[in-house]
Amino acid sequence: MATTFPSFNALQAGKGDRVSVRRPLAPTPLLALLVVAVGIAAPGTTQARAPAAVARHVIILSLDGARADALQRVWPPSLREQGAASWSARTTLPSSTLPSHTSMVTGVGPETHHVRFNDWHPGQPRLALPSIFTEVRRGGGTVRLLVAKRKLEFLAAAELVTYLSFPRHRQGDVIETAGRTFAEERPTLLFIHVADPDDAGHRDGWMSEPYLNVIAEAPLLVARLLRDVAAAGRLGETLLIVTADHGGHDRTHGTARPEDVTIPWVALGGAARAGATLTQPIMTYDTAATVLQALGIPIPPGWQGRPVTDALAAEVPKR
């Protein structure tokens, strides 16, 4: 292997130290001990080897109800060249918001997480399974969620989630808030949920003109987010995953029809492999594994998700 990067814990320990962030870190005695401890784990134990980190920040932008074919039509060459894209990724069944997002963040399918309901209200129990949010925090990282539907508060502990109750046509406001949140808090993992495509689909129909107009704004929102990350000086060490929970047909979704289950999956930022077309099958629970892999956090045993390694840069770019 050409380059070895410090573990996620070591990266976090250096957080706030501008010098250590700007140059590759030499292995510390503590890190060496950790590597030894991982390396000598007995066969048959569940101790996972920590992957080498390629990112210090991961942002997931989930465009609720965004069909892959709709987004592919408007995805500009500038964004194609910057990242790695699949327009044939798939979500789990039922292709509905809460079950699909649960798969996206837990690395397992509905037969394991058993979240088949699509409604949640404050005060009801929250997701209790290991997720990208619990694992990143366990590794010493920080987590923030900004969601445009209240029921997505289900996905993480209350103190991590902010419900953005902007009125209709709010995706620009959500992205503006997200850019500001990233600049102010520099979270290790930022999860952003935008609801406008789903709203337009239910109101006017998937692939209707109003729906496509909402989708046509997505590249501008993504570009704006990337600009905000760059302005914060973190673009080179950030992985942005743009995806969706499900697609839709007519004025609904939830079925196994290709229009409902096919989702976009795009990796951008300095931690993404530039100009790559992803042809391998990608499932929405692979998003969870990719997040942990990029941050150098071990993927919990039992996760169905596998990291989309073809979407990742080989190393943290030097700035």
- Any idea what DSSP says for residue 313? -
Name the packing angle between helices 209-216 and 196-204 (round to 10°). Answer: 170
- Distance between start and end Cα atoms, the chain: 21
Residue 277 in contact with residue 271, Cβ under 8 Å? no
Q: Which is nearer to Zn ion, 213 or 280 (CB)?
A: 213
Q: Which is nearer to Zn ion, 153 or 198 (CB)?
A: 198
Q: Phi and psi at residue 20, in whole multiples of 5°?
A: -70, -25
Does the protein bind Zn ion through residue 259 (CB under 5 A)?
A: no
| Least gap, CB of 205 to Zn ion (angstroms) | 12
Residues of span 189-208 touching Zn ion by CB under 5 A: 198
Closest residue to bound Zn ion by CB: 198
| Least gap, CB of 248 to Zn ion (angstroms) | 7
| Least gap, CB of 179 to Zn ion (angstroms) | 26
Q: Which is nearer to Zn ion, 117 or 181 (CB)?
A: 117
| Least gap, CB of 202 to Zn ion (angstroms) | 6
3-state secondary structure of 172: helix
Q: Which is nearer to Zn ion, 108 or 244 (CB)?
A: 244
Q: Which is nearer to Zn ion, 55 or 152 (CB)?
A: 152
Cis? peptide before 110, omega within 30° of 0: no
The site that binds Zn ion (CB under 5 A) totals a number of residues, namely: 1
Residue 190 in contact with residue 178, Cβ under 8 Å? yes
Residue 228 in contact with residue 80, Cβ under 8 Å? no
Residues lying near Zn ion in the complex (CB under 5 A): 198
